[in-house]
A = this chain, B = another copy of it.
Amino acid sequence: MAGESVLSRVVRIFEAFGPDDQALGVTQIARRAGLHVATASRLVDELVRHGWLRRDPDRRVRIGVRMWELASRASPALTLREAAMPYMEDLHAVVGHHTQLGVLEGREVLFIERLSSPEAVVNLTRIAGRLPAHVSSSGLVLLAHAPRDLQESVLAGPLAAYTPHTVTDPGRLRAVLADVRRSGVAFCRGHVDERAAGIAVPLRDADGAVVAALSVVVPNDDNARMQIPALKAAARGVTRAMRPGMPRP
């Protein structure tokens, strides 16, 4: 068994866990990973010994805290998140609805942080969850500042509709991206869910490159637009906090 092949199998074992899976049986893992049960079982046992997976008393398997710890330590996601968090807390306190931080991973937004209140409006995202880039306000911001070839590849479709308001026409999407670059904000009423409005602004690093999108999800009403200035102000604060040599909050 070549080293490459073992590593690929380990990756497939972890990829067997979807965003909704708290725990899986070894047979499920084997099936999803396309492995023999014996192979999956042997690798799972070793991953459990390393703390990367853990077993519940009923023998079902979960991701281990050790895996999370190693992944978190040196991750760029954590650095960005730590710079953004104090500003996200202030935004969340003022806006009173979901406040989130997303990065572009392929053609999707990966949400690396979300602050929510129990009474907040409906929101399809979750931490470590994804949405197609063209669907959400965060995705439109990230796509607007993405390399040209990635933009063209997304524009070439298919562009899934989450609601009748999702931008699915390539010509309109091109115009929306230009507008986001010009205005510095993506304002999307009902694109992901009819009841919610998403508002996103770019987060720039010290060199001016867009590294993430900061967004809020608020009720889809005429007051939604009022949150834009608070969001833009918070984005400036995060950029300042990411500047090298700044004391970290």
A205 at the interface (CB under 8 A from B): no
**Least Cβ–Cβ distance between A138 and chain B, in angstroms:** 15
Q: Using Cβ atoms and an 8 Å threshold, which residues of chain B touch A161?
A: none
A69 at the interface (CB under 8 A from B): yes
Flag A72-110 by CB within 8 Å of B: 1 or 0 each: 111111110010011001001100000000010100001
Interface centre among A22, A68, A82, A86 (most CB of B within 10 A): A68
- By beta carbon, the residue of chain B nearest A23 is B74
Which A1-37 residues sit within 8 Å CB-CB of chain B?
1-4, 6-11, 14-15, 17-19, 21-24
Q: Number of A interface residues, CB 8 Å?
A: 62
A67 at the interface (CB under 8 A from B): yes
B128 touches A69 (CB 8 A): yes
Binds B, one of A46-54, A165-173, A183-191: A46-54
Q: Which of B7, B15, B74, B118 contacts A63 (CB 8 A)?
A: B74
Q: Which of B6, B64, B92 contacts A6 (CB 8 A)?
A: B6
**Least Cβ–Cβ distance between A124 and chain B, in angstroms:** 14
Q: Using Cβ atoms and an 8 Å threshold, which residues of chain B touch A128?
A: 68-69, 72-73, 78
A116 at the interface (CB under 8 A from B): yes
A115 at the interface (CB under 8 A from B): yes
| Complex A-B: 10 CB contacts under 8 Å | A3-B6, A8-B50, A19-B73, A22-B74, A63-B73, A63-B74, A64-B75, A65-B103, A67-B75, A72-B127
